[in-house]
Amino acid sequence: MNGRALLAWMRRNRLLTALLGGGLLLLVFMLVNSSGEQEAPMRVVEVTRLVPVTVPASPAPEVTRVVVVTPTPEPVPIVNNTPGTLQQAVVSGPLTLDPAQAGDPAGAIVLRNVLETLVYPDPLAPGDFLPLLATDWEVDEQGLQVTFDLRRGVRFSNGAMLTAGDVAYSLQRLLLQSEAGRPQAILLEPLFGFRSGDVTEGMLDGPYLGNRAALMENTTEQERVEPCERVQAAILADEDEGTVTIVLAEPWAPLLAILSQPWTGVISREWAAARGDWDGSCANWSNWYGQSTGEGPLSTTILGTGPYVLDHWTPGSEYVLRANPRYWRSDQNPMWPDGPAGPPSLETVRVVEVTDDALRWELLRDGNVATAPLSAPARLLAEQLSGELCDGAVCIPGPAPAEPLRRMSGPPAPEFLALAFNFNIPVAGNPFVGSGELDGEGIPAAFFADLHVRRAFAFCFDEAAYLGAEVAGTVAPGGTLLPPGWATAPGYPYLYDRQSCDDELLLAWENQLPATGFRLQIPYLAGDEQQHVAATLLQARLQEINAGYQVETVGLPAETYRQALANRQLPIAFVRWEAPLFDPHYYVAPLLTSDLEQFQRPPAELQERMGELLAGGLSATTLEERREQYRLLEALWQAELPFLPLPRPATATYQQRWLVGWLPHPEAAAPYYYAYAQQGATD
């Protein structure tokens, strides 16, 4: 797909109410035609995660099976760490153990360690993948079929042999049972081009978006067979060859990243069916369609081929994992050079829910748990006890080298807030642009079409003050649109620099601004503290340079903000989205949608060039080709600056120094206990 075709395709998919280019835009725009006159308005929708278009209410779906779990009356007390046992404190436990439902981070930890995926993200080479259940894979010349050779001799923890049918069944079940809004739905786009996030897209009155009752009422049995047959035709098992082939609607370079996620882990079809789940037949798949989180026979139990098995789970209290005695990996077959091999080093992993921040800190401080999430005040205390500071595999002595803790710096979370500049602001009757002229009392329609103005606003954004106000005690990130390990353009050029901000404003608008000044408002969503801080920082830094640079901030109620945004009246719009996984496509695609472009109205050649690079990143067949496409895309963004992503705080975890192998791994997205070991643990 070339850049022009991609842009045309985007324009046919304007309503961004679910997965959008793999990311999440929280604000949807009203489109206007090239003359600036309003067309028929779109419905403006605000979504918080993966919230799809609303389907009319219908009777509650019939529950296939409800499993009631009774917590133990008295949780087992936490004791000091012992050799072979790792204890971890968390804020909350899993919502479910069903991979078709688990989109929460806590559930992903269990899935990562009990189930196995076809491939695993390479911790030594971001963007590359290691064989796991697949030993090799091949892409055809058109990039539309990927065939995976499966590892021989692998058994589930109950002793059953892994088959190609189990792998295909697990992925098919994922698509047929996953409710729109869960991250699993991103697999529908490369396979079928579906952007609703639901497998029933294209059916009568569809997509049904998880509404099982409406699906049953409005379709025939034969009609309900069709989505299942489509899914089974796209994910094919060959038992004789020991392969699974995935057929794509278009080349999709992030496919391996999707197939490395914990929720794509493989379960046994025979085991699942014996517990009352789908048996693989297209005649009855809809009985399990759209199950709510926690509903269904696999919500509280799990079985896989991974290095650990679930010993027990007491919701609200704890879960315990035990080493899998049938684990297939030998001592001579490490996952990566110097990586884990053979039986798990840790025999037992116990994860305990501790909601009290102070108690989690005490447990970590006293050595009773290996690691625990800490609140901002506790992180300041942990810093004083950090004898070692690590960034990836590189560690240096901490402020107190003899102390027992280690700080592991990690990448920012894939959650973004950006400022989108409006290149052509309607000024008639617009309260946010003052007079609508460059007369010191307003700004003209094309104010932000001047690159020097956009650069000035970027240089005047004080990243340190923003991070200090929003997320105290964290490490400032680098300025990039891309995931860790993918940034290849030169260093971020727009860090706060008062002199550069002043210089750019001097160059803008034929040197008129210092003498004339300007006036505009930066509206923000009332109650959104991040937006408020960002707007007031720009206001303060610009007025420090020149009192004539008048920036006013105004908090608007949600409906007023949405309407002003839809009418394109905002000089600058705040845009928020979340990437469903650490892949560059899902980081940048939300900023290149037709709706956002229609709001901003950047030059057509800039739109087309960015579309070409985005398409090139999707269709690239090698990692080197992908890196080049995103290098060019990032360089183009830095040169033209159509939007300003706000800085994201880096993450940090604290752990006991006797724990080894615990590395932040953004693409893996969950701790992998198989890689961990202990040094000097006490009885």
Query: pLDDT tens for residues 109-128?
Result: 999 999 999 999 998 888 89
Residue 323 in this model has a pLDDT that exceeds 80 = yes
Main-chain phi, psi angles of 407, to 5 degrees: -100, 125
- pTM for the model: 0.85
CB 146 within 8 A of CB 254: no
Main-chain phi, psi angles of 609, to 5 degrees: -65, -40
Residue 487 in this model has a pLDDT that exceeds 90 = no
Mean confidence (pLDDT) of the chain: 85
What is the predicted pLDDT for the residue at 580? 87
| Tens of pLDDT, residues 78-109 | 555 678 999 999 999 999 999 999 888 899 99
636 pLDDT band, cuts 50/70/90, is very high
What is the predicted pLDDT for the residue at 445? 97
| Tens of pLDDT, residues 577-591 | 988 888 999 999 988
Regarding predicted confidence, which is higher, 63 or 612? 612
Regarding predicted confidence, which is higher, 36 or 216? 216
183 pLDDT band, cuts 50/70/90, is confident
Tokens 């739905």 -> residue: 185
| Tens of pLDDT, residues 500-547 | 999 999 999 999 999 999 999 999 999 999 999 999 999 999 999 999
Cis before 207? omega within 30: yes
Q: Is 367 in a helix, a strand, or coil?
A: coil
Beta-carbon neighbour count of residue 458 at 10 Å? 25
What is the predicted pLDDT for the residue at 555? 96
What is the predicted pLDDT for the residue at 7? 37
CB 43 within 8 A of CB 187: no
The conformation of residue 416, written as its DSSP 8-state character, comes to: E
Residue 310 in this model has a pLDDT that exceeds 60 = yes
What is the predicted pLDDT for the residue at 662? 73
**Between vectors from CA 48 to CA 46 and to CA 50, what angle results, nearest 5°?**
105
Q: Name the burial class of residue 613, with classes exposed (0-12), middle (13-18) and buried (19+) by CB atoms within 10 angstroms of its CB.
A: buried
All domains in the chain, ordered by first residue:
3-51+413-645 (3.10.105.10), 98-304 (3.90.76.10)
Residue 57 in this model has a pLDDT that exceeds 90 = no
Regarding predicted confidence, which is higher, 62 or 338? 338
Q: How far is CA 577 from CA 48, 556, 600, in A?
A: 9, 20, 17
What is the predicted pLDDT for the residue at 81? 60
- Give me the half-sphere count of Cα atoms (radius 13 Å) on the Cβ side of residue 420: 30
Name the residue among 523, 505, 507 with its Cα closest to residue 425. Answer: 523
Cα separation of 131 and 137, whole Å? 9
What is the predicted pLDDT for the residue at 479? 64
What is the predicted pLDDT for the residue at 15? 29
What is the predicted pLDDT for the residue at 491? 66
User: Would you say the C-alpha torsion 119, 121, 125, 128 has a positive or negative sign?
Assistant: positive
Main-chain phi, psi angles of 192, to 5 degrees: -130, -5
Which residues are 120's β-sheet partners? Answer: 130
Residue 346 in this model has a pLDDT that exceeds 90 = yes
Cα separation of 415 and 257, whole Å? 18
Q: What is the mean pLDDT of residues 409-428?
A: 90
| Tens of pLDDT, residues 657-681 | 999 887 667 777 678 999 998 876 5
68 pLDDT band, cuts 50/70/90, is very low
Residue 247 in this model has a pLDDT that exceeds 50 = yes
What is the predicted pLDDT for the residue at 650? 78
| Cα 326 to the center of its chain, rounded Å | 33
What is the predicted pLDDT for the residue at 488? 65
Residue 42 in this model has a pLDDT that exceeds 70 = no
